A = this chain, B = another copy of it.
Amino acid sequence: MGVTIHDVARAAGVSVASASRALSGRRKVTPEIAERVARAAAELGYQPNAVAKALRDQTTGTIGMVVPGIGNPFFTTIVEAVERELQNSGTDLLLCASQYSPQVEARRLETLLARRVDGLIISPCDIEASVPAVLDAARRVPLVQLDRYIEGGGADWVGVDDEAGLALAVDHVIAGGARSVVFAGSRLVSSSARLRLSGFERAAARAGVEVLPPLLGEFTLEWGIEAGRGLLDAGRLPDAVVCANDEIAVGLVRSLRFGGARVPEDVAVVGFDDVGHATMCDPPLSTVRQPVEEMAAEAVRLLGQLKAGDPRPAQRIAIAPRLVVRQTSRPVAAGVEG
């Protein structure tokens, strides 16, 4: 079916070696040959076979990326950022979703490795169950973890500084007058879930406010709605609820208001991520913005370093987030934005 470089060479009346050299331009050929080869290639509609090139070169020009799910806007945002980052490096992205299952995650890694990707960017779905597959992959190929990471180190990581982010959120609601606070997050199955809870607890303890027992479910709108209902049913509302992501926060605001509570007058709500949902929410959500572009850039940079062979201990890079005050929390003087 395909037209090969042999066909081009024959049509141009030169050897395949010359054709190869002319096409790649990486080596000198007479202008005349270059011309003839170029014409032949164009006429035949020659298209280089990347598979053969990959086998020969032992490098595919692709990097694999696996995230828990592309239904979550945070992950699609970060995927887009990585794609943009890779844009001009001639590297293609092979994107996979693990669907929040360590089994399919392991399978995905396996096929990515079999396809000989030059590197891997992964947000492991489970802090424990993902360990073997991720470590194994890291042994075979440059790998950096983005956002979520696995226990025990051994592989590079770049993500947001959750601790700092939660401190930002907690201090903000307290500055707005909150005396009792609660955390609405996810069960502690990922690093993000754990770090955000502990960051919240630390900040709240430091401030000396009352802390209600955390509400732990999923990183979803549905769970946010449920958590809001739970709060209403409990009879007494906290002054503020800090959420582990925006989807939870949006759901929470919805059910709180549906139940008659005013946001932010009766209870302040702050989210985390600031991708998409936050501005869509009514009223617009105060949240902690993850520095997605920087995270993606850093991950790609790290991957490049690893590829270069540069041996060094595993790195962890935590990038500082930023508070974005909108309308679900009481403003404190300056800093309000749309």
- Name the segment of A27-35, A69-77, A237-245, A291-299 touching the other chain: A69-77
| Contact partners of A115 in chain B: CB under 8 A | 50-51, 62, 92
In the complex, chain B residues whose CB is within 8 Å of the CB of A276: 71
A184 proximity list for chain B (CB < 8 A): none
Number of residues on chain A facing chain B (CB within 8 A): 36
CB distance from A47 to the nearest CB of B (A): 6
> Do A95 and B92 contact each other (CB < 8 Å), given the known contacts A70-B80, A80-B71, A221-B280?
no
Chain A binding surface, main DSSP class: helix
Question: Is A156 among interface residues, defined by CB-CB distance under 8 A?
Answer: no
- Is residue A211 within 8 Å, beta carbon to beta carbon, of the partner chain? no
Decide yes or no whether A308 CB sits under 8 A from chain B.
no
Contact indicator B79/A70 (Cβ below 8 Å):
yes
Comparing A52-60, A125-133, A327-335, the segment that makes contact with chain B is A52-60
CA distance A92 to B97 in the complex (A): 11
Asked if B97 and A80 sit within 8 Å, CB to CB, the answer is: yes
The answer for the CA separation of A55 and B55 in the assembled complex, in Å, is 8
Q: Mark A107-128, 1 if CB is under 8 A from B, else 0.
A: 0001101111000000000000
Copies per complex of this chain: 2
A79 CA to B99 CA, complexed, in Å: 13
Residues of B within 8 A of A62 (CB): 115
Contacts of A282 in B (CB 8 A): 254, 282
**Once the chains bind, are B71 and A76 in contact (CB under 8 Å)?**
yes
Q: Are A280 and B250 in contact (CB under 8 A)?
A: yes
- For window 7-56 of A, CB contacts with B under 8 Å fall at 47-52, 54-55
- Other-chain residue from B92, B110, B114 in contact with A111 (beta carbon distance below 8 A): B92
Residues 96-155 (chain A) with a chain B CB within 8 angstroms: 97, 110-111, 113-116, 140
| A93 nearest CB across to chain B (Å) | 8
Q: Cα distance A62–B94 when bound, in Å?
A: 11
Complex Cα gap A118–B120 (Å) = 23
Which residues of A pack against B, CB within 8 Å? 47-52, 54-55, 60, 62, 69-71, 73, 76-77, 79-80, 83, 92, 94-95, 97, 110-111, 113-116, 140, 221, 250, 254, 276, 280, 282
